[in-house]
């Protein structure tokens, strides 16, 4: 079954790494990517069908959590993960309160794979 994955990170290298992992884990996948919350929002409509979102926390403009809240008003995404090296308790709590899985950077294939297949 084909899946659509949203990847948002201001680091091109991080986006490339996450894309490679996603492509290794899901055989039929469409990837929507953005380097900021605004870029991601420009690509999403109410008709978008996104199965999984992997979103960085620290980005210029809006944080990953702010983007996730914006996305919730537009589209339902069953699986959302916040990727960050910012492991402050407040950030973890905000992610959990938003129903988002917190994944600590640096990311690895095992970490992303476990989330995708959970």
Domain boundaries, the chain: 3-116
Q: What is residue 86's predicted lDDT score, i.e. its pLDDT?
A: 72
Q: Is 22 left (phi over 0), alpha (psi -120 to 50) or beta?
A: alpha
Q: What is residue 113's predicted lDDT score, i.e. its pLDDT?
A: 96
Q: What is residue 109's predicted lDDT score, i.e. its pLDDT?
A: 94
Q: How many whole angstroms separate alpha carbon 14 and alpha carbon 17?
A: 5
DSSP string, the chain: --EEEEEE-S-HHHHHHHHHHHHHH-SSEEEEEESSHHHHHHH--TT---SEEEEES--SSS-HHHHHHHHHTT---SEEEEEES---HHHHHHHHHTT-EEEESSP-HHHHHHHHT-
Closest listed residue to residue 68, CA positions, set 18, 117, 8: 8
Q: What is residue 93's predicted lDDT score, i.e. its pLDDT?
A: 85
Q: What is residue 97's predicted lDDT score, i.e. its pLDDT?
A: 86
Q: What is residue 89's predicted lDDT score, i.e. its pLDDT?
A: 84
Domain 3-116 in this protein, CATH class:
alpha beta
Q: What is residue 85's predicted lDDT score, i.e. its pLDDT?
A: 83
pLDDT tens series, the chain, 118 aa: 899 999 999 999 999 999 999 999 999 999 999 999 999 999 999 999 999 999 999 999 999 999 999 999 999 999 999 998 877 888 888 888 888 998 988 899 999 999 999 9
Q: Quickly count: other Cβ atoms within 10 Å of residue 48's Cβ.
A: 15
């Amino acid at each position: 079954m084909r899946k659509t994955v949203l990847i948002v990170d201001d680091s091109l290298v991080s986006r490339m790494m996450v894309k490679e992992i996603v492509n290794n884990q899901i055989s039929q996948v469409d990837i929507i990517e953005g380097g900021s919350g605004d870029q991601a929002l420009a690509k999403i409509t109410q008709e978008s069908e996104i199965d999984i979102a992997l979103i960085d926390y620290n980005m210029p403009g809006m944080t990953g959590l702010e983007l996730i809240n914006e996305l919730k008003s537009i589209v339902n995404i069953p699986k959302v993960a916040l990727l960050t090296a910012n492991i402050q308790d407040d950030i973890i709590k905000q992610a959990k309160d938003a129903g988002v899985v917190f994944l600590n950077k640096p990311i690895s294939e095992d970490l992303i794979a476990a989330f995708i297949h959970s």
